[in-house]
Structure 1
Amino acid sequence: MIDKFIDYISYEKKYSSHTIEAYKKDIDSFLGFSIVEFDQAVISESSYGEIRSWIVSLVSSGLSNRTVNRKISSLNSFYKFLQRIEEIKINPLAGHKALKVAKRIQVPFSEKEIVSVIEGIDGEDFASVRDKLLVELLYSTGMRREELINLNHSSININNATIKVLGKRNKERIIPLLQSVKKTLQKYLLLKEIEFGCNGYLMVSNKGNKLYGTLVYRVIKLYFSKESTKVKKSPHVIRHSFATHLLNEGADLNSVKELLGHSSLASTQIYTHTSLDYLKEVYNQAHPRSEK
């Protein structure tokens, strides 16, 4: 049943490889617990009481409530699938309430920090130009890490200065390319053609292979550690910065939603909180009656 579920989220739901791996790991975690604690190897027959014991063990192990909720969500999706194919009648997690989590505040990079990073990558070798393009693409398009990794040459339309991004659930969106990014892209393509040819994936490693998640993180951390003291430095923080900076400059929420590839405004609205904080800061600094 687990294999059938993995096939379902792979081929029908078209989840990313990273998400599929996480789902399988979470479900296997409960399966292992169920076998050891209850001698139960058929988790379609597990009770909520048994699942509750697993949840308690996860919390006791020191995992955050957010991580535990994610694991429960994976298991819940599995049970919903079993209901869908009529393997079970009742989902044992149907009445479960998620654990309370503290609101996570994402602190975006400032415009100054991002400009400093981009301007600071001034090498002319392949790796330097690739790294500069990587940062520019993430910041100028707001694309996700996986979306960047999976770009290929057909994703780029140099003449129209646009880039086609394949997002979650294979949903495509077209994003304009800034002229500055277009220049870096053209320089990169020239160097890539000399080194490895221009076929296959757009962004490649120093050996010409497809980029991988750890390398993208490493590039971001390398350059932003020189310019920023923020604790978290990741591709997602750049995506967060992209949305926040657009909203700060007056972009409407619907436009930002389309650029980010969100399916609903609810997902985009989290960025308005940061923008409001920024507006409060500007207001308090500028208003004559404020206590500066």
Structure 2
Amino acid sequence: MTPGDSPLLPAVEAFLRYLRVERQLSPLTQSSYHHQLQALIVMADALPLTDWRDLDAPKVRMLTARSKRAGLGAASLALRLSALRSFLDWQVHQGILHANPAKGISTPRAPRHLPKNIDVDEVNKLLDIDSNDPLAVRDRAMLEIMYGAGLRLSELVGINLSHIDLPSGEVWVMGKGSKERKLPIGRTAVLWIEHWLALRDLFGPQDDALFLSNQGRRISTRNVQKRFAEWGVKQGVNSHIHPHKLRHSFATHVLESSGDLRAVQELLGHANLSTTQIYTHLDFQHLASVYDAAHPRAKRGTS
């Protein structure tokens, strides 16, 4: 039986509509939920399971074990179980289930790898794009605002013309969980956005997206990833360039300069400070030097 024939599918489709319409989650997040729940439907049909109300904790453990045997690593298993928990929580809220059978079931903890950043000199090398080609101007504007405001990829492609206030140097973005925030973008980003806006009509815009593909439609996340990687190679940057690396570089550089973890948390749109602490690592030597310079008890007296 394919997922499209499964009696489990209608509830999943209703949940995905809820994520799209009511939660207004990003397309990337919706796609992730869709992929994970489709995979679970295939495995659940093989149990067999034909009604979500018959799902219990032992069956959830079986689905987790089958996913692991299928080759999923710890991080992917955690993602799949998280999608299932959210889906079942929604069913409880809808009155379909009395309790969530996935509560309390854990997966192996994935090791946390700190994302890598690039140093300021490498960022400057990447952004030193001096071209009148409209696509190059667009790409530099995207790179400048991505690094200048520490945006997520979904936030970058979601910017509309009305979300930009160039005189004040601010951009409005919709983050995870439909949380809005307004961010400063810096003078250089403003300058290159102005350059891009002077050329934008050449692409025959078909909507109010700030950044367009050469077909005049909102640029896709995949296109942005491809263009950023290509510019990394063209500019001779030593590491692979992708949007998340620019976001992390923004956070690391601001934190190293300011030491203000709370401000970086707000700029990144993190709900929890613990996320920022992991995401924006400072090396121990830098932390030690800040401590030695700032803490009264760290100052060494002379004997």
Q: Using structure 1 for the length normalisation, give the TM-score.
A: 0.88
TM-aligned CA distance change 1:164 to 1:105, over 3 Å: same
Partner of 1:134: 142
Runs of 4 or more above 4 Å deviation: 280-283
Q: Give yes or no for contact 1:129–1:184 (8 Å, CA) kept in 2.
A: yes
Mapping of 1:34-45 within 5 angstroms?
Answer: 34-36=44-46, 38-45=47-54
TM-aligned CA distance change 1:77 to 1:204, over 3 Å: same
Partner of 2:248: 240
Q: Give yes or no for contact 2:204–2:216 (8 Å, CA) kept in 1.
A: yes
**Are 2:276 and 1:268 equivalent residues in the alignment?**
yes
Partner of 2:38: 28
Deviation readout 1:165-215 (Å, 9 max, x if unpaired): 222233222222321111111111101134435961000112211110111
Letter in 2 for 1:14: Q
Q: 1:86 pairs with 95, 109, 112, which one?
A: 95
Mapping of 1:50-129 within 5 angstroms?
Answer: 50-119=59-128, 121-129=129-137
Q: Give yes or no for contact 1:139–1:242 (8 Å, CA) kept in 2.
A: yes
Moved more, 191-200 or 87-96: 191-200
Q: Give yes or no for contact 1:106–1:240 (8 Å, CA) kept in 2.
A: yes
Partner of 2:26: 16
Q: Give yes or no for contact 2:206–2:216 (8 Å, CA) kept in 1.
A: no
> Matched residues in 2 for 1:271 and 1:26: separation?
25
Moved more, 45-54 or 68-77: 45-54
SS at structure 1 position matched to 2:173: strand
Letter in 2 for 1:252: D
Letter in 2 for 1:240: H
SS at structure 2 position matched to 1:269: helix
> Matched residues in 1 for 2:55 and 2:73: separation?
24
Compute the displacement of 1:251 (Å).
4.4
Deviation readout 1:238-292 (Å, 9 max, x if unpaired): 11110000011124112111211222322222234x2134616989xxxxxxxxx
> Matched residues in 1 for 2:188 and 2:100: separation?
53
Compute the displacement of 1:12 (Å).
2.3
> Matched residues in 2 for 1:145 and 1:124: separation?
25
Deviation readout 1:26-85 (Å, 9 max, x if unpaired): 11211111112x222223312222222222222222221101110111011111111112
Q: Give yes or no for contact 1:189–1:198 (8 Å, CA) kept in 2.
A: no
Mapping of 1:199-238 within 5 angstroms?
Answer: 200-225=208-233, 226-230=235-239, 233-238=241-246
Q: Give yes or no for contact 1:153–1:199 (8 Å, CA) kept in 2.
A: no
Compute the displacement of 1:4 (Å).
2.4
> Matched residues in 1 for 2:66 and 2:267: separation?
41
Letter in 1 for 2:222: T
> What is the CA RMSD across the aligned residues, in angstroms?
2.1
Percent identity of equivalent pairs = 25
Letter in 2 for 1:28: Q
TM-aligned CA distance change 1:167 to 1:278, over 3 Å: farther
Q: Which runs of 5+ in 2 are unaligned?
A: 1-10, 291-303
SS at structure 1 position matched to 2:75: helix
Compute the displacement of 1:10 (Å).
2.0
> Matched residues in 1 for 2:180 and 2:48: separation?
46
Partner of 1:46: 55
TM-aligned CA distance change 1:41 to 1:198, over 3 Å: closer
Q: Which runs of 5+ in 1 are unaligned?
A: 284-292
Q: Give yes or no for contact 1:31–1:43 (8 Å, CA) kept in 2.
A: no
TM-aligned CA distance change 1:98 to 1:140, over 3 Å: same
Letter in 2 for 1:142: G
SS at structure 2 position matched to 1:227: coil
Q: Give yes or no for contact 2:74–2:110 (8 Å, CA) kept in 1.
A: yes
Number of equivalenced pairs: 279
